[in-house]
Amino acid sequence: MAVRDPLRPTVQRGQLTATGATAPQGDCGFPQVAPALGDLLQVIGYDFISPALLTEALTHPSASAVDHGRSRRTKNPFPPLPGKRGRGRVGSSYERLEFLGDRVLGLVVAELLWRRFADESEGSLTRRHTHLVRRETLARVADTIGLGRYLVLSRAERAASAATNPAILADACEALIAAIYLDGGFEAAVSFVRRFWQPLIEGMTGPPRDPKTALQEWAQARGLGLPRYQLVATSGPDHAPLFTVAASVAGGEAATATASVKRAAEAGAAEVLLERLVGRG
């Protein structure tokens, strides 16, 4: 019995249109209730059968806060169309979907890499995979989609520019992947990931090197010892903190970087410092 390649899905209702295609007017889920949302659906190329899943994927935890034991849910800004029964949990935030989307993305990217780089070792594929599923890449894809404009946020988070926070954008992007997976199945999720990650895969010149490892190798090759990393500042709200880390070698001039995760900040600082040191020769 022949087994069909899951990365070559058949197109069915609720699944992605071809890249660059424009969904017909009135076929985007919310054309009259929220016209702006139609723009999002056209960009991602997917028409949700269950709009409540999309609402959940776009809802930040701040918009479903709990006060004195009673839930104060943000009103669903995207009511379902007649005949479309919601499977999502309207009023819930994207946190559970984020968990699922992370796993779906990891699997799809792993298979895309496995097929694209058939002669590469496991180590090289792992480095590529790590680069493609990291928070920075997710935030980049979310920015390409314009996802921040559609997030459901509390007034405080909106005022704090949460819609442009890379960590929040990355989480929402994972949630969107999960929503598409639950709504249209694995093939729909594969098509979405392929649409936005395949260009990133094709643009890779080689397996990325971890900046911290590269800086360490540079320093040790010159007998300078291990690089030093120091947390110099913490900012942002409790649920989305930002960390600023300084990296230095042999007590020399430090380079700093800021990220929502300490490890990412360390990597960013290492990358900046290495570029500076290499540039000096």
Q: Tell me which residues are annotated as active site.
A: 102, 174
DSSP the chain: -----TTSPPP-TTS---TT--PPTT-SS-TTT-HHHHHHHHHHT---SSHHHHHHHHB-GGGG-EETTEE-PPP-SSPPPTT----S-TT--SHHHHHHHHHHHHHHHHHHHHHH-TT--HHHHHHHHHHHHSHHHHHHHHHHHTGGGG-B--HHHHHTTGGG-HHHHHHHHHHHHHHHHHHH-HHHHHHHHHHHHHHHHHT--SPPPPHHHHHHHHHHHTT----EEEEEEEES-TTS-EEEEEEESTT---EEEEESSHHHHHHHHHHHHHHHHHHT-
Between the alpha carbon of residue 20 and those of residues 6, 23, 42, 259, the distances in Å are 22, 10, 9, 33
Q: Which residue has the tokens 């959940």?
A: 56
Whats the size of the chain, residue-wise? 281
C-alpha 192, offset from chain centre = 12
Which burial class, exposed, middle or buried, applies to 175 when counting CB atoms under 10 A from its CB (0-12, 13-18, 19+)?
Answer: buried
